[in-house]
């Protein structure tokens, strides 16, 4: 599926925010809330507390006109800091790696490569960049079957 959505970052309040948004828009989550503890642990990273493991890794909520809000909790223990500029990202969901690479290359030109494109455990070819105007872009490519 090709779509554009808005990705929000919170410091431990994603679930509270999305329960609020769900009540405001009268919609339901698209799938279950994924928890940080659901992801495979990177042995090179510090261990997470049980509280951190229960924070939100990913949640999706349709709002208006087919637009979807997505979000995650940032982790202070991992050095994450929430500030204007990293609290929101435009998420591009694509089905073609070549187009994903072209968009990533062109949007990051003169900007910053925040996390280069690579295959991720959830099955996507994923990465993020900030363009030369400071706008953050996320790329999720799941190639469709031929």
Convert the pLDDT of each residue in 55-107 to its tens digit.
Answer: 999 999 998 888 899 999 988 777 777 776 777 889 898 999 999 999 999 98
54, 82, 110: which is the final residue of a domain? 82
Q: Per-residue pLDDT tens for 114-140?
A: 889 999 988 999 999 988 878 889 999
46, 66, 82: which is the final residue of a domain? 82
Q: Note the residue count of the chain.
A: 146
- Residue 25: CB partners within 8 Å, gap ≥ 6? 61, 62, 63, 64
**Is 1 part of any domain?**
no
Are 94 and 143 in the same domain?
Answer: yes
Q: Per-residue pLDDT tens for 8-39?
A: 988 898 999 999 999 988 999 999 999 998 88
- Strand pairing category for 88-94 and 3-10: antiparallel
Q: Containing domain of residue 33, as a range?
A: 8-82
- DSSP states of 113-140: EEEEEEE-TTS-EEEEEE-TTS-EEEEE
Are 99 and 126 in the same domain?
Answer: yes
Q: Is the whole model's pTM more than 0.85, yes or no?
A: no
- DSSP states of 51-104: HHHTSEEEEEEE-STT-EEEEEE--GGGT----TTTSEEEEEEES-HHHHHHHH
**Number of domains composing the chain:** 2
Are 120 and 140 in the same domain?
Answer: yes
Are 17 and 71 in the same domain?
Answer: yes
Are 97 and 66 in the same domain?
Answer: no
Are 14 and 47 in the same domain?
Answer: yes
- Strand pairing category for 34-35 and 136-141: unpaired
**Is 78 part of any domain?**
yes
Q: Cα separation of 12 and 41, whole Å?
A: 19
């Amino acid at each position: 599926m090709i779509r554009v959505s808005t990705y929000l970052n919170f410091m431990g309040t994603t679930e509270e925010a999305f329960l609020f948004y769900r009540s405001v828009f009268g919609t339901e989550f698209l799938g279950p809330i994924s928890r940080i503890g659901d992801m495979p642990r990177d042995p090179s990273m510090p261990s997470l507390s049980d509280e951190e493991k229960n924070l939100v890794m990913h949640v999706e909520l349709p709002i208006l006109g087919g637009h979807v809000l997505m979000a995650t909790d940032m982790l202070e223990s991992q050095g994450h800091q929430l500030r204007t500029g990293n609290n929101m990202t435009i998420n591009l969901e694509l089905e073609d790696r070549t187009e994903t690479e072209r968009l990533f290359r062109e949007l990051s030109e003169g900007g910053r490569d925040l996390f280069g494109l690579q295959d991720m455990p959830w099955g996507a070819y994923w990465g993020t960049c900030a363009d030369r105007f400071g706008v953050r872009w996320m790329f999720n490519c799941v190639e469709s079957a031929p």
